[in-house]
Structure 1
Amino acid sequence: MKDGTREDYELLARLEKPFLALTADRVLDELRRAGETSLEGYRITRLDHGLQSATRAERDGADLDWIVGALLHDIGDGLAPQNHDRLSAEVIRPFVRWDVAWVVEHHGIFQMLYYGHHYGWDRNARDRFRDHPCFDSCATFCERWDQSSFDPDYDSLRLEHFEPMVRAVFGRKAHDPAVIREGFVSALPA
């Protein structure tokens, strides 16, 4: 890489543009794959779980970043189940507000409140983030939109409903400070 010229890198940037423009398509394809099978023991697919989470967020009056964050919060599960939360956050981080990415990144440890004790884990491990400005947002996200979204009878909106939202988010300029708003914590709907 160190031997590349400015012209080389300008060429690469130009050639990468079509690939980058298809990011939303790749994300939507991964969501569709998540709907093809269910994890053993679960009554719904990972896609169904994301759709339920996003539907709950939308019905609660959440904004675009929260809805897409809810839809994609487990998108890393198929590739990295042991750290899916961090992988999922990295997928969305360049395109959503800072607080939404932080919540997605940390939802796994916050979810342990509901089940960690069954494995002998510290169900209150999230308390180490008690002073973080996104603590309440993450706790609310998990309570209202994540842990409750494993209901096979829930009337979720279909992926087609959320597709324009995914395209809008991934159509943004990556790492745009006006979108990311580092340090800003948005209010979740009451």
Structure 2
Amino acid sequence: MKDGTKDEYLLLHELEKPYLGLTADRILDELRRQGEATLEGYQITRLEHGLQSASRAEAEGADIDWIVGALLHDIGDGLAPQNHDRFSAEVIRPFVRWEVAWTVEHHGIFQMVYYAHHYGWDKDARDRFRDHPCFDTCAAFCERWDQASFDPEYPSRSLDHFEPMLREVFARKAYDPAVIREDEVIGL
């Protein structure tokens, strides 16, 4: 890499654009893969969990960033089950508001309040973020949209319904300051 010339890097930059433009397609492919098998021990697939979360967000009137964030909050589960929250956040971070990415990144530790005590873990581990401006938002995300979305009877919307929103978000300019709005917390 250190021997590359400016012209070579400019060429690579141009050649990379079509691949970047297919990000939404790759994400949709991964979501479809997540719909192929039920999560071990659960009554629904990973895809259905994301669809339920996004459907709940939409039903509450959440904006497109929150809906797509809810849909994709566990997209990292297949490749990074031990840190899926951080993996999932990195997928969406360039394209959504800062608070949405932060919430997705930290939802794993916030969810521990529901189950950690069963394993002898600290169910209050999220309290170390108590003074963070996104604490209440992340707690609400987990309570209203994530932990409730394992219901095999829930009438979630289809992936086809959410596809235009997903495409709109991933068509944005990456890290656009007008979108990211770093340190601004709107809430759910």
Instruction: Tell me the TM-score normalized by structure 2.
Output: 0.99
Distance (Å, rounded) in 1 between the aligned partners of 2:160 and 2:65: 17
3-state SS in 2 of match to 1:90: helix
Q: Which runs of 5+ in 1 are unaligned?
A: none
**Equivalences for 1:104-123 in 2 at 5 Å?**
104-123=104-123
Identity %: 78
Distance 1:151 1:118 in 2: 21
Which residue pairs with 1:126 in the alignment? Answer: 126
Aligned counterpart, 1:139: 139
User: In the alignment, which residue of structure 1 is the partner of 2:61?
Assistant: 61
In the alignment, which residue of structure 2 is the partner of 1:150?
150
Q: How far, CA to CA, are the matches of 1:41 and 1:95 in structure 2? A: 33
Cα distance in 1 for residues equivalent to 2:55 and 2:120: 32
Distance, in Å, in 1 between the alignment partners of 2:150 and 2:159 is 16
Instruction: Could you tell me which runs of 5 or more consecutive residues in structure 2 were left unpaired when the two chains were aligned.
Output: none
Which letter does structure 2 place at the counterpart of 1:160?
Answer: D
CA RMSD of aligned residues (A): 0.5
Q: Deviations over 1:132-174 (max 9, x none)?
A: 0000000000000000000000000000000000000000000
Report what 1:31 is aligned to: 31
Alpha-carbon distance, 1:187 to partner? 2.5
Q: Provide the rounded CA distance (Å) in 2 between the counterparts of 1:56 and 1:167.
A: 20
In structure 1, the partner of 2:4 is 4
For residues 142 and 187 of structure 1, what CA distance do their matches in structure 2 show?
Answer: 13
Q: How far apart, CA to CA, are the structure 2 residues paired with 1:68 and 1:181?
A: 17
The residue type paired with residue 186 of structure 2 is S
Aligned pairs (5 A) from 1:47-86: 47-86=47-86
Question: Amino acid of the residue matched to residue 119 of structure 2?
Answer: Y
1:162 aligns with 2:165: no
2-structure distance, mates of 1:114, 1:24: 32
CA distance in 2, matches of 1:39, 1:63: 28
Find the residue that maps to 1:150 and give its secondary structure. coil
